[in-house]
Structure 1
Amino acid sequence: MQGKRILVGVTGSIAAYKSALLVRLLVKAGAEVQVIMTESATQFITPLTLATLAKRPVVSQFVNDSTGAWNNHVDLGLWADALVVAPASAHTLARCAHGFCDDLLSAVYLSAKCPVFFAPAMDLDMYRHPTTLENLDRLESFGNTLIRAEHGELA
């Protein structure tokens, strides 16, 4: 992972706390990590936690609230060697599967020129719902990689 540029997308799931360990391990392996959080993700883990571990500010909006700077989704998508959305909520999976880009993370996904990995994390009934399964199949058909839970809890 030395020198690789990894975007980590964190979404609104109870499993968001696990993203801290992911970021820590990626940085420890020598990767440059930029975290993108959805608004709902901030209800589960603080941007400060992930910024501290990534050693750079977290981005979550198209325009930075404190500086007014533009967080360019195209530049972020081009910067990355990989985009890892973990946890990937049912909501974000649906957004990405259908091209809705009303938040920074989904806009970066549509702009990304790198491999994309989704780690679905939600209640088992939500995961098994035909809509979610269809969205997962759709994302996979676009060439994305799904990191499915082999066992244990999804959230």
Structure 2
Amino acid sequence: MAESPVSAAPAPAFGARQLLYVGTGSLGVMFMPMWSQWLRTSYPQLEVRTVITRSAEQFVTRTALTVFSGSEILVDAWPDEPRPKALHVELAQWPDAVVIQPASFHFVSRLALGMADTPVLLALQCTQAAVAVAPALPPGGHDSPAYRRHIEALAERPNVVVIPPTTGRSVTTGRMEASVAAPLSEVLARTEQLRLQMLAQSGREER
């Protein structure tokens, strides 16, 4: 994972206007600032709201993300101060599309089980937007029976697509036995396929 996957990444057609971009506690989240800059450059008309989990802060800082994204970074935690609008409702209703990249084993499990103990998880359980999940797993994670069940459960949701990870080198063992999240460019392409499919099924047209 030492080499950035962002270099020369293609920019697929992407028609969403408002994207919720979520990063979780996996080592690959360290590339999120560079992906954020790639989004700004590749899709200048796209509005992006970025959220990271508490565990993601072990690998990436809000300062770096703010600099590269050019916008406020939210943390997936209930606000200490009162807000005029409920954060989870905003995050559920605002986006045309949602991307979780990378999605840790823990986050995938909580999402699949219907957990709603953070603003993002509650929003994802309620949103009608297209949601793309790009898992990143430790050695052995891909073959875990629990992970397999969670992926099957997510696949049953009509507004969710799971993009399989690719084989990568574990920084712990040094062997090619980890599962690395798919590049954001690939995730966006799959998100757009799902979004257009959902529009066609609902009989709606692009605004």
Quickly name the TM-score band, shorter chain normalised.
Answer: 0.7 to 0.9
| Matched pairs, number | 153
Give the TM-score, by structure 1 length: 0.88
Percent of aligned positions that are identical: 25
Task: Give the Cα–Cα distance (whole angstroms) in 2 for the partners of residues 49 and 2 of structure 1.
Answer: 27
Give the match's secondary structure for 1:33. Answer: strand
- Correspondence for 1:21: 34
What amino acid does structure 2 have at the position aligned with 1:147?
Answer: I
In structure 2, relative to structure 1, the CA distance for the partners of 1:40 and 1:149 (3 Å cut) is same
Q: Over residues 86-141 of structure 1, what are the superposed CA-to-partner deviations in whole Å (9 max), with x where a residue is unaligned?
A: 11001110111011111122112112221000000021312220101110111111
4+ residue segments displaced more than 6 Å: none
In structure 2, relative to structure 1, the CA distance for the partners of 1:79 and 1:91 (3 Å cut) is same
Indicate yes or no: 2:132 matched with 1:114: no
Larger radius of gyration: 2
In structure 2, relative to structure 1, the CA distance for the partners of 1:112 and 1:51 (3 Å cut) is farther
What amino acid does structure 2 have at the position aligned with 1:136?
Answer: I
- Correspondence for 2:106: 91
What amino acid does structure 1 have at the position aligned with 2:68?
Answer: L
Unaligned runs of 5+ in 1: none
Q: Is the CA contact 2:21–2:99 (under 8 Å) kept in the aligned structure 1? A: yes
Unaligned runs of 5+ in 2: 1-13, 170-178, 181-207
Q: Is the CA contact 1:13–1:44 (under 8 Å) kept in the aligned structure 2? A: yes
In structure 2, relative to structure 1, the CA distance for the partners of 1:111 and 1:27 (3 Å cut) is farther
Q: Over residues 54-78 of structure 1, what are the superposed CA-to-partner deviations in whole Å (9 max), with x where a residue is unaligned?
A: 2221111221x5x653661111211
Give the TM-score, by structure 2 length: 0.67
In structure 2, relative to structure 1, the CA distance for the partners of 1:75 and 1:12 (3 Å cut) is same
